Structure 1
Amino acid sequence: MSQELSTHYQHILVGLGENPQREGLLDTPKRAAKAMQYLCNGYHKSLDEVVNGALFESDNDEMVIVRDIELYSLCEHHLLPFIGKAHVAYIPTGKVLGLSKVARIVDMFARRLQIQENLTKQIADAIQQVTQAAGVAVVVEAQHMCMMMRGVEKQNSVMTSSVMLGAFRESCNTRHEFLTLIGRSK
Structure 2
Amino acid sequence: MDDAIFTAGARKTRRPSREEAEAAVRTLIAYAGEDPDREGLLDTPKRVVKAYAELFSGYGQTDEEVLDRIFSEVAGYEELILVRDIPFYSHCEHHMVPFIGKAHIAYYPTTGVVGLSKLARIVEMYARRLQTQETMTAQVSNAIDKVLKPRGAAVLIEAEHLCMAMRGVQKPGASTVTARFTGCFKTDPTEQARFMMMVRGEGK
TM-score normalised by L of structure 1? 0.96
Aligned length: 185
Aligned mate of 2:80, from 48, 63, 66: 63
Runs of 4+ in 1 over 3 A off after TM superposition: none
Is the counterpart of residue 16 in structure 1 residue 32 in structure 2?
Answer: yes
- Quote the residue 1:82 is aligned against: 99
The residue correspondences of 1:140-155 to structure 2 (distance < 5 A) are 140-155=157-172
- Quote the residue 2:64 is aligned against: 48
Is the counterpart of residue 27 in structure 1 residue 43 in structure 2?
Answer: yes
**Pair 1:109–1:129, CA change in 2 (3 A):** same
SS at match of 2:150: coil
Is the counterpart of residue 133 in structure 1 residue 150 in structure 2?
Answer: yes
Write the deviation string for residues 50-102 of structure 1: whole angstroms up to 9, x where unpaired: 123x2011311111000000011000000000000000000011210111110
Write the deviation string for residues 128-167 of structure 1: whole angstroms up to 9, x where unpaired: 1111100000000000000000000001100000000011
1 or 2 for the larger relative contact order (CA 8 Å, sep ≥6)? 1
CA distance in 2, matches of 1:3, 1:51: 34
SS at match of 2:139: helix
Q: CA deviation at 1:38?
A: 1.1
Structure 2 residue runs of 5 or longer lacking an equivalent are 3-17
Q: CA deviation at 1:184?
A: 7.9
The residue correspondences of 1:99-114 to structure 2 (distance < 5 A) are 99-114=116-131
SS at match of 1:86: strand
- Quote the residue 1:4 is aligned against: 20
RMSD: 1.5
Q: CA deviation at 1:17?
A: 1.6
- Quote the residue 1:117 is aligned against: 134
Q: CA deviation at 1:181?
A: 0.2
Q: CA deviation at 1:34?
A: 1.1
Structure 1 residue runs of 5 or longer lacking an equivalent are none
CA distance in 1, matches of 2:94, 2:201: 28
